[in-house]
Structure 1
């Protein structure tokens, strides 16, 4: 039986990263205390800082979501148009 991957809640990740960034704990101390690899804490810290950097540059978290939703709607409209064209072509041919 394989080893299961441990998952951490976003709240716990934030707590760990903030403890490291505030100087309350070193990465090594946090890794030992929370039983997390140091490399994982480095990854979380980099993600946390990158998200903050993007937000300060004016990126809105929901802007990307809205863009994707608009693209999905456009693609759905294209599919509906193609399905209608296919339906009409089949009717004309008597299929």
Structure 2
């Protein structure tokens, strides 16, 4: 029978602490990894994710991410549908008024 391996779970705060400890430069990355008992590969993976998140957060507001483009397109579509609904509502009100006057 094989035992199921149990992995440790790190919070985002713990991951950030580990990465910052390695980035400070007062100790080597190898020493930081030994202290926290993680592999260097895992450390570099966390570091890359942290730096990518930082880049995204510091990107100019004019940067057009795919999500931003999608939100803008959806807002345009909602506005067009609202205008269309408004026109149809107005047409129904006119038709109702005309039918009341006709009878």
- What's 2:11 paired with? 9
Distance 1:12 1:24 in 2: 19
TM-score (normalised: structure 1): 0.58
- What's 1:50 paired with? 52
Q: Between Structure 1 and Structure 2, whose CA radius of gyration is higher?
A: 2
**Structure 2 unaligned runs (5+)?**
75-103
- Structure 1 stretches of 4+ moved >4 Å: none
Is the aligned partner of 1:34 residue 2:11?
A: no
**Structure 1 unaligned runs (5+)?**
72-95
TM-score (normalised: structure 2): 0.54
Distance 1:15 1:49 in 2: 13
What CA deviation, in whole Å up to 9, does each residue of 1:2-57 have, x standing for no partner? 11111111111111111111113221111100001110000000001111111111
